[in-house]
Amino acid sequence: MATVWAWRTGTGIWSMNDPDKTGWSHQVEFSDLQDLLQKLNALRPSVKGQITKLGVFAHGDEGGVVEIGPKLTADSAVILGTDLRQLNEFLGAYARVVFFSCIAGAGEPGTAFLNLLPGKYFPHRHIIGFEVFGLYAKGTNAPGDGRSRSCRRPS
């Protein structure tokens, strides 16, 4: 089984690659959804059907929006459906997809977004989004570190 920490370019520096300390067996930097799929496909041995937890670190400054490249929303999911179904092929049964994307899970738009994904694109998967803003540190961060798990850009 695999756990993958995937962060969108420009959302921090994630350099600690020690699964014993971070809990993530793989780390992937991606520029957009297509790039993420290509990088997951390139992992050896293959992680297809093996990911039990996928952490997606991308900005999400409003409810129902993950800036995964392009913006992923309940409305845009229809256009991105083929890519989302391909992403689903990497997930094991009852896997968790965690959007570390600030307030992507907030309000009615966040609820609609989080309900749509498992209902239409990720069946039998747990989709998790946050309702609070967070910060990431300017220095090097450990993947999944609670001190650096969301999206407000440092000034």
Q: How far apart are CA 48 and CA 95, in angstroms?
A: 12
pLDDT digits (tens, 9 = 90+) for 2-37: 999 999 998 877 766 777 778 899 999 999 999 999
Q: State yes or no: pLDDT of 139 exceeds 70.
A: no
Judge whether residue 143 has pLDDT over 80: no
Say how many C-beta atoms besides its own lie within 10 A of residue 57's C-beta. Answer: 28
| CB contact set of 65 (below 8 Å; sequence gap of 6+) | 71, 72, 73, 101, 104, 109, 113
Whether 85 has a pLDDT exceeding 50, the answer reads yes
pLDDT band at 141 (very low <50, low <70, confident <90, very high): low
Domain range summary for the chain, segments of one domain joined by +: 32-144
Query: Cα 71 to chain center, whole Å?
Result: 13
Mean per-residue pLDDT, 98-109: 94
